[in-house]
């Protein structure tokens, strides 16, 4: 992607729709949830006769509706004491605005499942008592962050506000502000219905989804939008498109107006935005992707690589852990040794990174490089056990940068290590794990710049 003419041929919608799959993982949804929600939301918008600008604003709001979702992951895990991804998935099928037997069962499954009975009952009572304040905190953080990301990647204020108001309810019982009726942006009302319908269709079928919309009309949902969904019940082509394996192709076809090119600036903006989404997942990784990108660029520049290659390495480094959005905070923040099952889940994150990134036209090599950050030169890494001859230089650079950044960061089981200890440990990994020339290049750069100023990437999207 060194050639700007090539980059301009990539569609912005192609990049956004592919990256949206990572957000689905964080929310515990099957990959493609946002894409399928977009198909339905755009059809609703057509039935409502939205103007061209609203149609365009809604399209990107639907694809990026969950862009703030990682912001509350650590806090939800802390509140429940369990796998927050499972909890997020299950709550999508609950009307959490009401006390119910189903809601009590949800709490029983998801609050301290491994704890003793007294501890569980005490925590369940606390969660129930503080439900409203917890919801305000969790949903508020998610919605504010999502709106901020939309603004900083150049989307409209209407798109940002729609994302911010995604979880507002028609009767005022939603969050973050308790807006009601016409106070809620029209686009947000469409999005709330669309995402709920998609979840129910995926898990219980169209009949159940339409029934839920009818039941929540006038409480969660704008009655007018609920009527539109009810009128679409018999549209078999619509539901077939939503369920189709190639649903993303339909979303790309639905892009309003002329396709927006993914210019180099837009690509960089998206990479930086998603790096912050990734790093927000855990307080222990709040600057990890950005730090890996900084270190990788330092190595690449010290090795005098071509500017286009440096750009590709930086983007791959920013996105290398995008698959880690599939890993629960119960694993990411575990202070002790992982079980075999937990380790198996952790080792899948590079696979998800490659799968997500390779779906973007022109990102195939970047996807391979990004996903190889846990490979070793001796073939004992994961996920593919690549050997020295199978790892191109950009992949080796990111592998070195990832180890360096991980050692300097504070983790649940240790504090960040000083530079002399870090390089001592990295020297022990040369040449079996890490590339000698890449480590040497990083040492040279750190020796020349012992005090790093705050990263430009860390300063903002």
Residue 3 predicted with pLDDT over 60: no
Helices 436-448 & 288-302, crossing angle to 10 degrees? 100
- At 278 the pLDDT is 96
Q: pLDDT digits over 307-323, tens only?
A: 999 999 999 999 999 99
Residue corresponding to tokens 């990301």: 149
Mean pLDDT, residues 434-460 taken together = 72
Mean pLDDT, residues 331-359 taken together = 94
Q: What percent of the chain has pLDDT over 70?
A: 95
Of 258 and 353, the structure prediction assigns the larger pLDDT to 353
Helices 436-448 & 419-428, crossing angle to 10 degrees? 170
Alpha-carbon distances, residue 278 vs 142, 205, 257, 275, 450 (angstroms): 13, 32, 31, 5, 27
Mean pLDDT, residues 30-56 taken together = 95
- At 451 the pLDDT is 52
Mean pLDDT, residues 409-435 taken together = 89
- At 450 the pLDDT is 63
Residue 458 predicted with pLDDT over 50: no
- At 362 the pLDDT is 87
Mean pLDDT, residues 43-54 taken together = 95
Which domains occur in the chain, in start order?
A: 32-262 (1.10.3210), 264-448 (1.10.3210.10)
Mean pLDDT, residues 48-62 taken together = 95
Using pLDDT thresholds of 50, 70 and 90, give the confidence band for residue 354. Answer: very high
- Neighbouring-strand partners of residue 414: 411
- At 441 the pLDDT is 97
- For 295-344, the DSSP string reads HHHHHHHHTT--HHHHHHHHHHHHHTTGGGGGS-HHHHT-SSPPPHHHHH
Mean pLDDT, residues 203-207 taken together = 94
Query: For 32, what's the count of Cα atoms within 13 Å in the CB-facing half-sphere?
Result: 19
Residue 7 predicted with pLDDT over 70: no
Residue 122 predicted with pLDDT over 60: yes
Residues annotated as catalytic are 324
Mean pLDDT, residues 147-156 taken together = 94
Residue corresponding to tokens 């799968």: 355
Using pLDDT thresholds of 50, 70 and 90, give the confidence band for residue 127. Answer: very high
The answer to which of 3-12, 52-61, 76-85, 370-379 has the lowest mean pLDDT is 3-12
- At 211 the pLDDT is 96
Of 279 and 258, the structure prediction assigns the larger pLDDT to 279
Residue 8 predicted with pLDDT over 90: no
Residue 93 predicted with pLDDT over 70: yes
Mean pLDDT, residues 374-383 taken together = 97
Mean pLDDT, residues 6-33 taken together = 88
Q: What mean pLDDT, rounded, does the chain reach?
A: 92
Q: pLDDT digits over 108-119, tens only?
A: 999 999 999 999
- At 460 the pLDDT is 38
Q: pLDDT digits over 224-276, tens only?
A: 999 999 999 999 999 999 999 999 999 999 998 877 888 899 999 999 999 99
> Which pair of tokens denotes residue 322?
């995008």
- At 49 the pLDDT is 95
Mean pLDDT, residues 424-453 taken together = 88
- For 196-227, the DSSP string reads HHHHHHHHH-HHHHHHHHHHHBTTTB-HHHHH
- For 238-258, the DSSP string reads HHHHHH-TTHHHHHHHT--SS
- At 452 the pLDDT is 47
- At 409 the pLDDT is 87
């Amino acid at each position: 992607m060194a050639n700007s003419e090539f980059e301009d041929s990539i569609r912005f919608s192609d990049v956004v729709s592919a990256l949206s799959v990572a957000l689905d993982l964080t929310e515990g949804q099957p990959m493609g949830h946002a894409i399928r929600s977009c198909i339905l939301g755009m059809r609703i918008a057509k039935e409502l006769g939205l103007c061209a600008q609203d149609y365009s604003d809604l399209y990107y709001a639907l694809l990026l509706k969950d862009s703030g979702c990682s912001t509350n992951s650590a806090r939800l895990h802390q509140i429940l004491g369990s796998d927050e991804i499972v909890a997020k998935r299950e709550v999508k099928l609950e009307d959490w605005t009401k006390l119910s037997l189903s809601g009590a069962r949800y709490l029983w499954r998801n609050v301290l499942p491994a704890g003793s009975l007294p501890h569980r009952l005490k925590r369940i009572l606390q969660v129930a008592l503080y439900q409203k304040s917890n919801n305000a905190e969790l949903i508020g953080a998610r919605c504010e962050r999502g709106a901020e990301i939309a603004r900083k990647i150049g989307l409209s204020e209407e798109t940002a506000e729609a994302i911010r108001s995604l979880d507002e309810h028609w009767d005022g019982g939603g969050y973050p502000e308790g807006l009601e009726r016409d106070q809620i942006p029209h686009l947000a009302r469409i999005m709330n219905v669309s995402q709920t319908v998609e979840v129910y269709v995926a898990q219980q079928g169209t009949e159940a989804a339409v029934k839920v919309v009818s039941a929540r009309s006038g409480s969660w949902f704008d009655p007018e939008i609920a009527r539109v969904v009810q009128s679409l019940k018999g549209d078999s082509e619509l539901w077939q498109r939503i369920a189709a394996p190639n649903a993303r192709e339909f979303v790309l076809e639905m892009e309003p107006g002329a396709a927006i090119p993914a210019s180099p600036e837009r690509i960089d903006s998206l990479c930086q935005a998603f790096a912050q989404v990734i790093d927000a997942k855990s307080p222990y990784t709040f600057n990890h992707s950005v730090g890996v990108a900084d270190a990788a660029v330092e190595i690449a520049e010290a090795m005098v690589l071509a500017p286009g290659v440096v750009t590709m390495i930086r983007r791959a480094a920013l996105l290398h852990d995008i698959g880690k959005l599939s890993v629960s905070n119960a694993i990411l923040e575990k202070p002790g040794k992982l079980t075999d099952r937990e380790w198996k889940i952790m080792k899948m994150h590079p696979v998800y990174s490659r799968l997500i990134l390779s779906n973007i036209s022109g990102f195939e090599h970047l996807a391979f490089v990004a996903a190889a950050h846990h490979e070793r030169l001796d073939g004992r890494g994961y996920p593919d056990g690549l050997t020295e001859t199978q790892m191109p230089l950009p992949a080796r650079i990111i592998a070195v940068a990832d180890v360096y950044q991980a050692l300097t960061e504070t983790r649940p089981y240790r504090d960040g290590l000083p530079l002399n200890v870090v390089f001592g440990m990295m020297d022990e990994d040369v040449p079996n794990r890490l590339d000698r020339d890449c480590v040497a290049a990083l040492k040279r750069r750190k020796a020349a710049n012992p005090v790093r100023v705050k990263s430009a990437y860390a300063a903002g999207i």
